[in-house]
Amino acid sequence: MFHVQHWSGLLLLLLLAACSEVETNVALGTLERDRITLSATASEIIVAQPVAEGSRVEEGALLVQLDTTLQQAAVARAQAEQAQLQANLDKLHNGFRSEDIDAAAARVQTAEALLLESERELERVAGLIERKLASQAEFDRAQTQRDANAARLRDAQSQLQLLREGSRDEDVRAAEAQVLAATAQLIAEQQKLANLSVTATRAGTLDSLPWQVGERVATGQQLAVLLADGAPYARIYIPETARAAINIGTTLNVHVDGSDTAYTGTVRWIAQEPAFTPYYALNSSERSRLVYLAEVQLPDSALDLPAGLPAQVDLP
């Protein structure tokens, strides 16, 4: 009886030791796929969700449509402002019409005639004063009128000169800068309008639609979550004792629950900083050890494996 109990205890110890040895040579984790989260860029009401959850979609497929009424008005306003500034710039480039120049020349001729008339009137009043037939006040009025007509002539001549010389370079550059600013604003408003149509940025499976048609979402809230196409990867926790032997590009064997196939995966990422072992990756000998989170990309032969399955990876 003693010998039977002795051998039974010894066998149990050997089995525990073997299990501990196996556990220290594997890393535990789960299968995952790249998740793409699409968020709202504006606070608007959802008006359409043309794709059902769980459906496979191609890149560019419309997933969620937000109300575009206000943003369309913003785009129209930006287009009008840009058109107005562009018209002003075209006017400066093209110069003034010949009709404008002719009208300015006619104003100069009119001012010249008025000045000549006022000068003759001043001469007449001056002659009357010499003969004591007019007062000093009349002379002052005539002189004031002559000076005013001379000022009008100078102004008309300056306006004609500006029309003949055309636009100043400084005015043209300022108008060009205004057009550039208006064009940039229009592009920004058009992009905001486009962002209200939430489309798939990669081919994959529409995993979830957190909101329903008719609900208003706030800026930054999730509108859709995609699971990218392609084979999944194993998110695992590598014990500190095995970290030195594993780098990006290292090939490891991956075992998945429910599959007899051992997949050859490649480490695509590994954390530089350690963390404490998560509870579901613990075993009796590793509860106090540090681990490094890593991702092991599975080959295309694992394309149909679903995300979420438990996985274990053989360590070197």
Spatial CA neighbour of 270 closest among 299, 290, 250: 250
Neighbouring residues of 80: CB distance < 8 A, sequence distance ≥ 6: none
- The yes-or-no verdict on residue 95 having pLDDT over 90 is no
pLDDT for 200 beyond 60: yes
Q: What is the pLDDT of residue 281?
A: 52
The CATH H-level superfamily of 230-314 is Efflux pump adaptor protein, beta barrel domain (2.40.30.170)
CATH class of 38-67+196-227: mainly beta
Secondary element (H or E) of residue 118: helix 98-130
Residues 6+ apart with CB under 8 A from 180: none
Q: CA 233, 37, 67 angle in degrees (round to 5)?
A: 155
pLDDT reading at 291 higher than 90: no
More confident: 314 or 291? 314
pLDDT in tens, 34-49: 999 999 999 999 999 9
Q: How many CB atoms lie within 10 A of CB 22?
A: 12
Tokens found for residue 182? 């208006």
CA distances in angstroms from 211 to 51, 61, 80, 194, listed in the order given: 13, 18, 35, 20
Cα 1 from chain centre: 79
Does the pTM surpass 0.75? The reply is: no
